[in-house]
C-alpha cells in the first residue's frame, strides 16, 4: 500500500512539473547555436539566392577586400574588373548587428569555441568550451576580426544562412568558409555595412 501511495505521489509531481512554465534560461534557447549538431552534406545545399557565385559589384575598394552587407545577408570578396565573389551568410540578430572597418588578424582551421562571458550570461546552457570539429558552432574555419570577439566562421547549422541569429559574427556554410579561408590572407581589409550603398 505504501508503494502504491509513493508511485501515486511521483505521478502527481511529474504531471505538475510538466504543467509548470519552462525556466527562463531554457525558454530562450538560441536556434543558431547548436553545439554538437553535425550537419550532413544535404543540409549544406543552399537556396540559389545564397549560393556562392560571381556577381557584378561596383566599389572603390581594392580587389581582395571583404565587404559584408548585413541587411542583405551577403559577404563579397572584391575581384578585378567590377566583379565580386558573393557568399550567403548568417548575421547578428537584432541588437547584435554592427558596422565598421577591421582587418583579418588571425585564421584558424577547425577552431575551438569558447563562448564569451556575455554570451554565457544570455545563454547559460552553452558549454564553456568545445573542441574544434564537425559539431562545433564555429564550423570548419574562422577568420578573426581585429581585436574583437567577432569572426567570420563556418557553422554546424547551415539552415541559419540568410537569417539574423548570431551574437554579431558572420557565418557561412563550411564549404564556403573553406573557400574563403583559402583566398584571404591575414591583414585583409573587412568593411562591414548595415545598409546598402546609394
Q: What is the pLDDT of residues 166-196, one digit of tens each?
A: 989 999 999 999 999 999 999 999 999 987 6
- Catalytic positions: 153, 169
**Is 27 inside a domain boundary?**
no
**Mean local confidence (pLDDT), 8-33:** 40
pLDDT of residue 21: 37
68 assigned to some structural domain: yes
> 156 burial class (0-12, 13-18, 19+ CB within 10 angstroms)?
buried
Mean pLDDT across 89-99: 91
In the structure, what pLDDT confidence band is assigned to residue 1 with cuts at 50, 70 and 90? Answer: low
Considering the domain boundaries, does residue 173 fall inside one?
yes
Residue 14 has pLDDT above 50, yes or no: no
In a domain, 128, yes or no: yes
Of residues 105 and 10, which shows the higher confidence score? 105
Domain around 100: 41-193
Provide the grid cell at 170: 558572420
For residue 127, what pLDDT is reported?
87
| Residue 23: inside a domain | no
In a domain, 166, yes or no: yes
pLDDT tens sequence across 50-76? 999 999 999 999 999 999 999 999 999
Q: Which residue has the higher pLDDT, 130 or 197?
A: 130
- Answer whether residue 75 is part of any domain: yes
Rounded to whole angstroms, the Cα distance separating 99 from 116 reads: 20
Residue 111 has pLDDT above 50, yes or no: yes
**Predicted confidence (pLDDT) per residue in 120-162, tens digit:** 898 898 889 989 998 889 999 999 999 999 999 999 899 999 9
Asked if residue 84 belongs to a domain, the reply is yes
Lowest mean pLDDT among 6-20, 33-47, 141-155, 165-179: 6-20
- Residue 164: CATH number of its domain: 2.40.440.10
Q: Looking at residue 66, what is its pLDDT?
A: 98
pTM equals 0.78
Query: Domain tally for the chain?
Result: 1
Amino acid at each position: 500500500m505504501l508503494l502504491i501511495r509513493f508511485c501515486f505521489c511521483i505521478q502527481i509531481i511529474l504531471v505538475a512539473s510538466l504543467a509548470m512554465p519552462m525556466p527562463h534560461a531554457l525558454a530562450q534557447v538560441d536556434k543558431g547555436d547548436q553545439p554538437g549538431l553535425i550537419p550532413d552534406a544535404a543540409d549544406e545545399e543552399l537556396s540559389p539566392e545564397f549560393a556562392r557565385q560571381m556577381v557584378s559589384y561596383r566599389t572603390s575598394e581594392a580587389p581582395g577586400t571583404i565587404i559584408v552587407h548585413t541587411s542583405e545577408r551577403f559577404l563579397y570578396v572584391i575581384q578585378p574588373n567590377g566583379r565580386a565573389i558573393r557568399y550567403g551568410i548568417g548575421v547578428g540578430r537584432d541588437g547584435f548587428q554592427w558596422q565598421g572597418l577591421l582587418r583579418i588578424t588571425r585564421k584558424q582551421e577547425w577552431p575551438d569555441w569558447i563562448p564569451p562571458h556575455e554570451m554565457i550570461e544570455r545563454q547559460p546552457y552553452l558549454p564553456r568550451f568545445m573542441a574544434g570539429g564537425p559539431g562545433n558552432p564555429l564550423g570548419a574555419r574562422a577568420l578573426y576580426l581585429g581585436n574583437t570577439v567577432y569572426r567570420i566562421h563556418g557553422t554546424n547549422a547551415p539552415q541559419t544562412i540568410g537569417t539574423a541569429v548570431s551574437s554579431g559574427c558572420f557565418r557561412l556554410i563550411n564549404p564556403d568558409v573553406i573557400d574563403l579561408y583559402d583566398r584571404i590572407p591575414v591583414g585583409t581589409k573587412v568593411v562591414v555595412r548595415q545598409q546598402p550603398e546609394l
